[in-house]
Structure 1
Amino acid sequence: MGELSRRNALGMGLGLGAAAIGLAGCGSADERSSPPAGRHTGAPGGPKGAPRITPHLIGDGSTAYTGRQPNQPPTPERLEPGRKPPQFVIISWDGAGEVGTGLFPRFLKTAQDHGVHMTFFLSGLYLLPESKRDLYKPPNNPVGASDIGYLTDEHLKSTLGYVRQAWLDGHEIGTHFNGHFCAGSGSVAKWTPDQWRSEIEQAKSFVTSWRTNTGWHAHDPLPFDYSRELIGSRTPCLLGQDNLLPVAKELGWRYDASSPGGVQRWPSKRQGVWDFPLQGIPFPGHSFEVLSMDYNILANQSKNSTRAPSYNYPGWREQATESYLAGFRRAYETNRAPFFVGNHFEEWNGGIYMDAVEEALKQMSDPKDVRMVSFRQFVDWLDAQDPALLRQLRALEVGEEPPGGWKNYLTAKAPSRSAAPKAAAHA
């Protein structure tokens, strides 16, 4: 893997059309400088002015039930016949560890500034101190092994603070599992359902038992019941979904965001679970598309190098930003398919991908009919809709406007398919 070490495995390759597109990277945890202190809240409560709820500690007190999650949108309603659907944008973060770069608080503030909610796929291993690594028994791998680094104690404390703040701000906490194994005999691509079940139970245990594992009993609990909070995931490198889904359904999970190579169409369910794939989006300057994730853009720009020559950075930053915005506009102006964007808290190639997603977020949040939500919030909206309406939305192809306009299309009993789909030209 060249410059990419086992401790910092970033991803594998995937073909999409003519492009060689990198799969999802990982939230790596290299040894870095000490982080700023997280915003550790006291006993969590609701919005300002709301009565404070005494936390009900769960287990060893690592987590607590604190009532309904604050800062949530109104209860979703069914879309009225003939009404144009909102444009949903879901931004998510794999790993969700704070390792001293300040990226976690940076994007929490950006979200607050622009009224955005997101999903944080927390790696359970990021709440397990390295001194207790023997507690992790990864399937088909040695005890304590991991293809991402364990956090330092200081970074673990900071991550706890920002995860706590994220939930109180209204964001979702999903899972990115644990050791991020993408290659070799221990790859998640080869795990059985029983092995996925073991990995999930361990990930949940590390989140719900961090007090016991760290000895930090004076620290505030995470303000949520993880057995209720956890309803979805993204697998390492977008691998292994087929054997994960039966377990996800068994556990009552409502979605999974692990599919690679999806397209910008309205989603459907696989094995009873909503399937939210990373999507192919226009890639300015090329005839092929790129997956809607920071690492996949990097893989095409710098051939997997995370420290390419800096003279490339301005052009690549602009290209990444325009790629996100091109994907957004294609959906917004045509079929209104939800736009899924995946990221990592990483400073690859001078942090240009963080700059790109932040600038794209700011521009995408401007229109009034755009809803930038978490996967949980999007699932709530989907499940509130008339199944017949969702079938009509799914019938629209990539870049296809509704025949006869939205009022006609979503008022009719069935979509008109007399005209051939008008696919948008790919940049």
Structure 2
Amino acid sequence: MRAFVVISVVCIYALTVWATPVKRFGVPVKAEDDCRGGANFSTDVDDCQRFYICDHGWPKVRLCAAGSVWTPLLMRCELPENAINDECGFVPPIPDNVAIDEVERADEAAQWLCADGNQRIAYHGVCDGFIQCDDGSDEADCAEVCDPTNCRLPDCKCSSGEIPGELLANEVPQLVLIGWDEAVRVEDYSHLYQQVFKKITANRRRENRNNPNGCPAVGTFFVSHQFTDYAALQSLYSQGHEIASHSISKTLPAEYWETATSEDVAAEYAGARKIFSNLAGIPESAVVGTRAAYLQTSGNEFVRTLTENGFGWDSSYATSQIDPPIWPYTFNFRSTAGCPVAPCPTASLTGFWEFPLVDWIDLNDTLCVNVDSCLFTEDKEEATTLLKTNFRRHYNTNKAPFTLNLRARWFYNDGYHNLEALQEFLDELEAMDDVYIVTYSQAMNWIRNPVKMANLLDSDVFSCDYSDRTPLCDNLNLCGYANITYQPNSEDHPGDRFFQTCSECPAVYPWTGNPDGVDQS
């Protein structure tokens, strides 16, 4: 894992030949056989949320929205109570009215370990008001039902669709939160982010999209370490975008994160923040948000550890409350958002904010969280309809923040029509005087101290003074590391890692437990 080359280059756009990963994820032989045999879809036998769509005889991986299950018979994702997938061994959830002893006998549903270490119950039985563990530990340390009179801004908000500050919908701005998941790659920086956050003017120049106060539209990047280019990351931060932690390793399988210890969580999320500081010049104090890898957390332990490590908010928990949408809330009191991906926090965790992943409804009436997990759009018209109908559900009701969760594959897998649809959609938003495209942290600042639309232009809540952010340097270092065995590589199939940075190249490839990349041999 030692660095084998350090080269000085002039511009971030200059080097793209190495940006494509050396080795991509393979696809199962079954999926290849199914698609070559004329099938439209293939089921993944190891993951009930994963399936493959056959594109000209070749399988392309797709994921169902969090909390839903691929159902081969219907060829779509369904909620667990409606799903059937024997190929992956899916076990339907046990209805709430089933006797307790039946729940405890269902090993597949009994995942929460009672304090005595001898008994397990279903996650949804924890803090439900009924003692199921013999030692009563499932009803211990439970957050109370939220009382709005005891939960007041700026440090507490109940989980609900209520607008902060008891304001009316026509008094508040519609906040649009563009969140990008995964690594920040050179090709995405050069050819994708620029086309989303900027527009082509009549004189053929690319200029910023602006909010009503004249500040540029900005987004939040939930960044994982592998394959990230740190010069690109520093450039994004210097332009006003927010950087949040999405873990260092994104270790598979997703179930790994369900039982992650506090040490695991700190090493992954606080460790990533350290890497951002070392290699992209982003102050650690500026990285205050997280999104869990695969949206899988360890519940109370996850939030407690993030709080102890100086994070202030998270955006990992999906919610089925979509009409009206739920506003961001704190974990001081019991959440009413539901728990599609268990475990979820059940204890009182004071002052930590959650930006819920409010589900979208795709064109097939299926719930989805990330845009690329919705029904695949066939053309620009369908993509535009998907964007506008989900936006209107927020804008026409309580104006809860509209989260637009994007990944690069939504654009690259389906030609250019998705990008064209998004550009047209953002053009329309830019023309609206009550819509602000801001970062998650800017949105949180507004929620904690609401400012009426009439006063926004005189407020600094969405200001854009980035003079304290270090701009990209003129001479970059290209760092390279051979024989990396971390996923998706392995001991048998090692690969290489490269990134550009204004900093000195670490001696070894930074990783969990060694974010500084110190040679420990």
Q: Match of 1:349?
A: 414
Q: 1:163 is paired with a residue of what secondary structure? A: helix
Query: Counterpart of 2:265?
Result: 196
What is the identity, as a one-letter code, of the residue corresponding to 1:276? F
Measure, in 2, the Cα distance between the counterparts of 1:249 and 1:12.
30
2:315 to 229, 254, 257: 257
Matches of 2:292 and 2:419 in 1, distance apart? 21
Q: 1:165 to 1:21 in 2, by over 3 A?
A: farther
Partner of 1:164: 234
Q: CA deviation at 1:183?
A: 2.1
1:321-360 equivalence runs, <5 A: 321-346=384-409, 347-360=412-425
Structure 1 residues 323 and 376, CA gap change in structure 2 (3 angstroms): same
- Distance, in Å, in 1 between the alignment partners of 2:259 and 2:62 is 18
Provide Cα deviations, 1:191-229, integer angstroms capped at 9, x if missing partner: 12221111123312332333xxxxxxxxxxx3531x111
Matched residues in 2 for 1:356 and 1:229: separation?
A: 32
Residue of structure 1 equivalent to 2:443: 378
Give the structure 1 partner of residue 174 of structure 2: 87
Question: Cα–Cα, structure 1 residues 327 and 184, in superposed 2: closer, same or farther, change >3 Å?
Answer: closer
Which is worse superposed, 274-283 or 12-21?
12-21
> Is 1:279–2:358 an aligned residue pair?
yes
Is the radius of gyration larger for structure 1 or structure 2? 2
Q: Contact (CA 8 Å) 1:178, 1:199: kept in 2 or not?
A: yes
Correspondence for 1:70: none
Letter in 2 for 1:88: L
Q: Percent identity?
A: 22
Amino acid at match of 2:291: R
Q: How many equivalent residue pairs?
A: 270
Matched, 1:112 2:199: no
User: 1:260 and 1:184, CA in 2 relative to 1: closer, same or farther beyond 3 A?
Assistant: closer
Q: Distance in 1 between matches of 2:78 and 2:187?
A: 29
1-side partners of 2:366 and 2:64: how far apart? 17
CA distance in structure 1 between the partners assigned to 2:264 and 2:329 by the alignment: 26
- Equivalent residue number for residue 96 of structure 2: none
Report if the CA contact (8 A) 2:181-2:405 is conserved.
yes
Partner SS for 2:399? coil
After TM superposition, give the deviation of residue 293 of structure 1 in Å. 1.8
Change in CA separation of 1:384 and 1:14 when aligned onto 2, cut-off 3 Å: closer
Match of 2:311, SS state, is: coil
Q: State the partner residue of 1:291.
A: 368
- CA contact under 8 A between 1:122 and 1:173: conserved in structure 2? yes
Aligned to 2:277: 208
What is the CA distance between 1:9 and its match in structure 2?
A: 7.9
Give me the CA root mean square deviation: 3.4
Bigger proportion of residues as helix: 1
* Partner deviation per Cα, 1:362-392 (whole Å, 9 max, x = no partner): 2223210111110010011112149xxxxxx
Tell me by how many angstroms 1:172 deviates. Answer: 0.6
Q: Quote the offset at 1:240 in angstroms.
A: 1.0
Q: Does 1:100 align with 2:187?
A: yes
- Greater CA drift, 96-105 or 369-378: 96-105
- Which residue number corresponds to residue 292 of structure 2? 235
Q: 1:369 aligns with which of 434, 437, 456?
A: 434
Residue 362 to residue 99, structure 1, CA distance change in 2 (3 Å): same
Question: What SS does structure 1 have at the residue aligned with 2:274?
Answer: helix
* Structure 2: runs of 5+ lacking an equivalent: 1-26, 32-43, 48-59, 80-163, 200-206, 211-215, 332-348, 452-521
Task: State the distance in 2 between where 1:80 and 1:202 align.
Answer: 39
TM-aligned CA deviation for residue 182 of structure 1:
4.4
Query: Deviation at 1:275?
Result: 1.2
Distance (Å, rounded) in 1 between the aligned partners of 2:257 and 2:387: 28
